[in-house]
Structures are given as C-alpha cells and as structure tokens.
Amino acid sequence: MNTPLDIYSLIGFVGTACIIGAYAYLTYVDKPNPFILHGTNLTGAGLLTISLLVHTNWPSLVLEGFWAAIAIFGLYKALRARAQSDKTVQ
C-alpha cells in the first residue's frame, strides 16, 4: 500500500475516530443520549464519505451511506420521542 497520507486521509481518520467513539460511548454508558450517539455516528459517516470520495472504495462508500441513513433515522426517532414527551408534560 503506497497511498499518501493527505488531508482526505486525515479527515477519514477523524471520521473513524467518531464512529469508534460513538460505539465506545454506547458500550460504556448505561443510558446513552441518542443525540450524541447518532450525531457522532452521522458526523463520522460524513467525514469518512469525504475521504472515500477522493480515495474511492465502493463497498466502504456504500457502508457509509447506510451508516448515515441509520444515524439520521435514529436522530429522527429521538426528535419524535422528545416532541412526544414535551406534549405529555404540558
């Protein structure tokens, strides 16, 4: 492997750190905040996508698309749950 370590690779490493960090957060925290969990996953998927658009690896790019879609759905569910709880409090 003779790929240079350029800015896009560094962006990909930050994305990887986000996804690993979100997984560690999910594992270590008893009641994880879904906004932190899914927001960090979405950020990681976005950063990795930037890297993969330059250093194309199609299977990984597809994986990041699904990862982002799942994170967006998780954020949607969390927002819906928050709105529902706000209605019951009033």
pLDDT over 70 percentage in the chain: 97
Residues 6 or more apart from 35 whose CB is under 8 A from it? Answer: 75, 78
Domain count, the chain: 1
Residue 38 counted as domain residue: yes
Task: Give pLDDT tens digits for 4-32.
Answer: 799 999 999 999 999 999 999 999 999 99
**Cα Rg for the chain, rounded, in angstroms?**
16
Residue 46 has pLDDT above 80, yes or no: yes
In a domain, 2, yes or no: no
CB neighbour list of residue 37: distance below 8 Å, 6 or more residues apart: 22, 25, 26, 74
Rounded (5°) CA angle 59-19-25: 150
Report d(CA 69, CA 90) in Å as an integer: 32
* Domain extent for 25: 7-89
Query: pTM of the prediction?
Result: 0.90
Q: What is the mean pLDDT of residues 68-84?
A: 97
Has residue 1 been placed in a domain? no
Q: Is 1 a residue whose pLDDT tops 70?
A: no
**Average pLDDT, rounded, for the chain:** 95
